[in-house]
Amino acid sequence: MGTSALLSLGMRAMFANQAALTTIGQNIANANTPGYSRQQVTLTTPEGQFTGSGFFGKGVNVETVTRSYNAFLTKDAAAAKSQAFMDSTRLTNLQQLEKLFPPGDQGLGAAANQFLNAMVDVASRPSDPSARQVVLGRAQELASRYSSTGQQLADLQSGIVSDLRANINVVNQLAKQIGAANDQIARTTGSGHTSNDLLDQRDQLISRLSEYVAVTTLPSEDGTMGVFIGGGQRLVLGSISQELGLQPDTYDGTRVQLSITESNGSRKLDESVLTGGSITSLLRYQNQDLQDARNLVGQLAVGFAKRVNDQQALGLDQSTPPGSGSPIFSYADPVTLPASTNARNPDGTYQSMLTVSVVDATRLRPESYVFKADPSGVPDQYLMTTRPGGVTVALSATQIEAQYGFRVTASGLPMTADDSFLVEPLAQAAVTMKRALDSTNGIAAAAPITAVTNVDNTGTATVESLYVVNSKYDATKQPMTVLFGAVDPADASVNYTITMADGSVLPGKWRPGSKIGNEPASGIDLGFELRLNGVPRENDVITTGITQFPGSNNANAKAFLNIQTETFIGRTPQPDGSVRAGSTPSDAYATAMTDIASRVQGAQYLSNVSTSVASSAEATRAGQAGVNIDEEAARLMQYQQGYQAAAKVLQTAQTIFDELLKLGG
């Protein structure tokens, strides 16, 4: 073994240690670079040279430079990040939504109570213009709060569309960059070595992409990485990337759907196949949380406004001559939106149309529905699906009216199997709510019916209140006489008979706190409600008749006060034919606040958990792939000493070679 072998050993050793030092320097330089994976030189020993004295080594080979990479941990960290961004995005948006449902005096429930409380002064001073003006002022404030809330919900929807566009632009840029990285990596694959920095760059791009939409990856033999979304939809394959986009919702142009551009055009992606990232969260927030909030506010607006307007219509105003009260509030009718794919006439109009009208506002539910033709062919029957994700049921128009409180009317040609309509009974009600009454004389404080007690009565009964409660009141049956009979010793009740102007007679039974004239369960439904203080005795008489002096009558104003405690919002028909009581205006608003607050609380919990999981997953990945400065410093000293030792070997070989030259000379 000659001097040249020793020189070769020294040079190989110096090169190997220099490569290791260079790699360590690269690690130290990128210790804080996001997504950087620790690199290290792979050293191997070449086959030894056989001599008569045995095998002598030929030094060391620098095989390649590898990176610390674990595919499972990398995918797990990206998936956890995707979930964390989806949860945090939803939390942020729900917290904005929660601000539209403030508690206390700033809430919709308080505004409704303030309006009804203003009727107390009108009941005390029915002809006082200032008391009536306060009622109109409270009505204006209430309508403004509803319309403001509705407008803010619309603004949130516009913001969601804007955020979606911004996120999709970022996704498309990342997809292009991943495709470009794939192309560069594929070009270097044939060299037998991996381009570690390019691989890190691609992994970092995929990690950033996961912030917007959950992805799955599939490596190829040429080193490229396929990226898929939505359960298998190709986003990047090789160097080619697809673009995401937004298309108007099939029914509502203010909302959008996610689409992907392919060679044959754009194709909509179902939200249900997306599983993570901020884009998924924004779409679900748009289609579920915002839509539910619009319907909840709409149910409150329509329920309260309709109930107030109905009571207003049952009273008499101060016009000349007095007439039924005109509506205090106005709001939009139910909206029916045909699908953009529905069959059209040559002039562009739709061949089939559905119109919806509210029949019973107390039965309206905070929901939207998709209507399709029933394939069974049953006339006037539809397939109705709660949107989004509701169960589809086949119901006739009569059943829909009885259960949901609105009437569906078809016009034009019969619906085809491909036709569908989005029916929103409540979504537009709040934003369009206004005060429709401007004149103080228009407040119907008086009832069209008045009661007086007979001067010869011997009992203590007096008239507490008398007002009309529904449209069954018939003025032609006035005057009426209520004649009380003997006390029933079994339950201390008092029998009575009502004799109408046409001579017809209805028997009834009075108990303290009960109503006369409005007892449907007893077969008495005359459209008015008479309540008494005290107790009548046998042969006592109370006479009702047409109100002669509406200016001083306050009975209908008193009826408004009962709306505060009436459970009329969200009444639900039961299978046995009964109707489950709904909520008062205050309770309904409290329920809406609770619904939104519970969503915020749930989102807060999920965000905390998923953020913790994502941090843990990233820490685990970084623990294996990241740079440890202390470890690199130790390795730096190790290879520095190795480099110095290799230089010493080379120096020794050089000295020996020089001595040999001298001896040869």
Q: Which residue has the tokens 């509030």?
A: 329
50 confidence band (pLDDT: 50, 70, 90): low
- The pLDDT tens digits for 418-466 are 999 999 999 899 999 999 999 999 999 999 999 999 999 998 999 998 9
Tokens representing 439 are 């004149």
Global confidence as pTM: 0.87
Q: Crossing angle of helices 196-210/129-189, nearest 10°?
A: 160
User: For residue 379, is the peptide bond before it cis, meaning its omega torsion is within 30 degrees of 0?
Assistant: no
Q: What is the mean pLDDT of the chain?
A: 90
Tell me: pLDDT of 147 over 80.
yes
Helix ranges, 99-192 (H): 108-124, 129-189
**What's the pLDDT at 2?**
54
pLDDT band at 512 (very low <50, low <70, confident <90, very high): confident
Q: Sorting pLDDT into bands at 50, 70 and 90, what band is 493?
A: confident
CA distance 658 to 665: 11
Report CA-CA distances (Å) from 559 to 119, 315, 468, 512: 9, 9, 8, 19
For residue 301, the model assigns a pLDDT of 95
Amino acid 146: pLDDT: 95
C-alpha distances in Å from residue 262, one per residue of 198, 231, 519, 653: 27, 17, 67, 66
Q: How far apart are CA 133 and CA 118, in angstroms?
A: 9
Strand 256-262 and strand 505-510: pairing? unpaired
324-364: per-residue pLDDT in tens? 999 999 999 999 999 988 999 999 899 999 999 999 999 99
Q: Is the pLDDT of residue 60 over 60?
A: yes
Residue 511 CB neighbours (<10 A): 12
pLDDT tens digits, one per residue of 78-130 = 999 999 999 999 999 999 999 999 998 889 999 999 999 999 999 999 989 99
Instruction: Quote the pLDDT of residue 437.
Output: 94
Question: Which tens digits make up the pLDDT trace of 650-664?
Answer: 888 778 877 777 777
Mean pLDDT, residues 583-601 taken together = 94
Instruction: Examine the pLDDT at 138 and tell me if it is beyond 90.
Output: yes
More confident residue, 409 or 1: 409
* Residue keyed to tokens 């840029």: 173
What pLDDT is recorded for position 216? 92
Question: What pLDDT does 642 receive?
Answer: 84
The two structure tokens encoding residue 184: 């560069």
Residue 243 above 80 pLDDT? yes
The answer to whether the CB of 632 falls within 8 A of the CB of 36 is no
Q: Specify the pLDDT at position 550.
A: 87
Judge whether residue 3 has pLDDT over 70.
no
Annotate 512-535 with three-state secondary structure.
CCCCEEEEHHHCEEEEEEEEEECC
